[in-house]
Amino acid sequence: MTKKVLPNEFILEEAGKLLEEGREVCFTPLGDSMLPFIHGGKDTVTLKIVPNVDVGDIVLARLPGPQYVLHRVVDRNNNRLILQGDGNIRGLEGCTREDVIGTVTAINGEKPSRGTFWCGILKPFRRIILAIYRRII
C-alpha cells in the first residue's frame, strides 16, 4: 500500500468544511512551529468549532494568502486575535475571530495544555530551551 501525502491547503480547506457542518476533525499537522506541544508529522490534533476563543487556545486560522496556521492565541482584543507558534521565538500573526476555522480540543486524545507556563514565565528562555529540545529529539 502506497502512502499518499496531500497538500496542507487541501486538507485544511476540507477540514474547515467538515467543521462548519458541526463535525470534529482529526489530522496530523506538519511543521515544528508548535514544538514542544505538537510534533509535526507525529501527533494528531482534534479540532471543533467552539463558541469562545480565548488566550491560551490553539486554533487553526486562515490567514491572507491563503495560508493556514495552527498556533496559540497569545493576546486578544475584542474580535482581534494575536497568534504565535509555541516553537517560534518571534513572529506573530494577527487575525479576526472569523478567520478561526477550529480550536484544538485534543492532542493525541488528551486535553491540550493552555501553555500558561510556557508562554509566561518561560518565554524569555524559549530560545535556549527549544535549541536544546531540538538537539535531543
Q: How does pLDDT run across 66-125, given as a tens digit for each residue?
A: 789 999 999 999 889 999 999 988 889 999 999 999 999 999 999 988 888 888 888 888
Per the omega criterion (within 30 degrees of 0), is the bond before 51 cis? no
pLDDT of residue 125: 85
Please give, one letter per residue, the 3-state secondary structure of 17-85: HHHHCCCCEEECCCCCCCCCCCCCCCCCEEEECCCCCCCCCEEEEEECCCEEEEEEEEEEECCEEEEEC
User: What integer is the mean pLDDT of 44-61?
Assistant: 94
Question: What is the pLDDT confidence band of residue 26, given thresholds at 50, 70 and 90?
Answer: very high
Provide the percentage of residues in the chain whose pLDDT is more than 90: 52
| Per-residue model confidence (pLDDT) at position 102 | 96
